[in-house]
A and B are shown apart, each in its own frame.
Chain A
Amino acid sequence: MSPGVSTTTRAIVFAPMLSWLALLVLLALTIALAYVPLGRLNLIVALAIASLKDAIVVLIFMELIHAKAVHRLAAAIGILWLVFLFLLMFSDYLSRPR
């Protein structure tokens, strides 16, 4: 194998491999923390770890971190509508008398 090919291989493998290891560590962490009684924080911690995992997936596996502006915009808009959905829905449910 020429040095050129092995440099390419390293460039291909490095970021996904680190991401994959980080994802598995975060998975182990979130499972372990689910058994620690934290009250309402359990859900928040679990969702925070899930968000971190998805950030790794979207930014590195899906390469959004060095995607073109138009692609990053399209991806961000998907999240924007989701934010609207939750904002409007909870502005209703959380303001109802219980």
Chain B
Amino acid sequence: MSVALREPWSDLGRQEESAVLGIWLFLGTEVLFFGGLFAGYAVYRMLYTAGFLDGARQTEIVFGSANTAILLTSSFAMALGVRAARAGIARFARACFYVTAALGAVFLVLKGFEYRDDIAKHLVPGPGFAIAQRGAEIFWTLYWLMTLIHAVHVLIGIGAVLRLPIAGRDRDWLTRSPAVEVTGLYWHFVDAIWVILFPLLYLGGRA
């Protein structure tokens, strides 16, 4: 009997199938959660196009681009880790998960420096907001909301990813628990959300 097998499943295959179905359904709810923000962004961008372009021009594209590359690379490490764990290459898989979590942490640190610059440039909506154009303040409200909610997801992701090599010191668990695949799917999803946020928040108004 494998340590990876839990109640109420009779075998690992069914457990894996159920767990993966569960995370996809959860990610479906996450699509709608971020979807509400995307919908708000779409409507306000339609109504205040000039304000959104003026707003987007002020985001820190160097931080944004670097963070996109970092998150894509973390997803690459995660993809390798999940495949290696499945193939029974435990040490390499654990290393991949640590790299994934570390890149996630680098993402958050850079985001912190970026927020510091944003605050210094008076880009927090409210009294003394830097951009006069109507709608720019709505853009920046969405910027803070979307990036902060995304950052919370990254933070939760780092915790979930770090669990894998720690619980996975047990080789049998690491190579057979559906937690590995499920955590991987969550991490890739958080990356996929950022891939959409990047053009919406950083690329507008540059041309």
CA distance A53 to B188 in the complex (A): 12
For A16, give its contact among B21, B68, B79 (CB under 8 Å).
B79
Q: From A13, which residue of chain B is reached at the shortest CB distance? A: B80
CA distance A20 to B196 in the complex (A): 17
For B17, give its contact among A19, A36, A49, A68 (CB under 8 Å).
A68
Given the interface contacts A54-B192, A93-B46, does A20 sit within 8 Å of B199 by beta carbon? no
Binary interface encoding of chain A residues 72-90 relative to chain B, with 1 for a CB under 8 A from any of its CBs, else 0: 0011011101100110011
For B76, give its contact among A20, A75, A78 (CB under 8 Å).
A20
Contact at B203–A81, with CB atoms within 8 Å? no
Contact at B83–A12, with CB atoms within 8 Å? yes
Which residues of chain B are within 8 angstroms of A65 by Cβ–Cβ distance?
none
Q: From A75, which residue of chain B is reached at the shortest CB distance? A: B24
Q: Could you tell me which residues of chain B, from 59 to 77, have a CB within 8 Å of some CB in chain A?
A: 61, 65, 68-69, 72-73, 75-76
Given the interface contacts A34-B206, A78-B27, A93-B46, does A54 sit within 8 Å of B195 by beta carbon? yes
Which residues of chain B are within 8 angstroms of A42 by Cβ–Cβ distance?
203-204, 206-207
Which residues of chain B are within 8 angstroms of A19 by Cβ–Cβ distance?
76, 79
- Closest CB of chain A to B167's CB: distance in Å? 21
Number of interface residues of B (CB under 8 A): 48
Which residues of chain B are within 8 angstroms of A67 by Cβ–Cβ distance?
20
CA distance A54 to B24 in the complex (A): 15
Contact at B28–A78, with CB atoms within 8 Å? yes
For B69, give its contact among A24, A49, A62, A81 (CB under 8 Å).
A24
For B35, give its contact among A31, A36, A68, A82 (CB under 8 Å).
A82
CA distance A50 to B199 in the complex (A): 7
- Closest CB of chain A to B80's CB: distance in Å? 6
CA distance A12 to B76 in the complex (A): 11
B185 at the binding interface (Cβ < 8 Å): yes
Q: Could you tell me which residues of chain B, from 21 to 40, have a CB within 8 Å of some CB in chain A?
A: 21, 24-25, 27-32, 35-36, 38-39
Contact at A49–B35, with CB atoms within 8 Å? no
- Closest CB of chain A to B85's CB: distance in Å? 10
Given the interface contacts A31-B65, A42-B203, A89-B39, does A57 sit within 8 Å of B75 by beta carbon? yes
Binary interface encoding of chain B residues 166-207 relative to chain A, with 1 for a CB under 8 A from any of its CBs, else 0: 000000000000000000110011011001101100111011
Q: From B193, which residue of chain A is reached at the shortest CB distance? A: A54
For A57, give its contact among B65, B84, B195, B204 (CB under 8 Å).
B195
Sample of 11 A–B contacts (CB below 8 Å): A24-B69, A27-B68, A34-B206, A37-B207, A46-B199, A60-B79, A62-B188, A67-B20, A71-B17, A78-B30, A81-B32
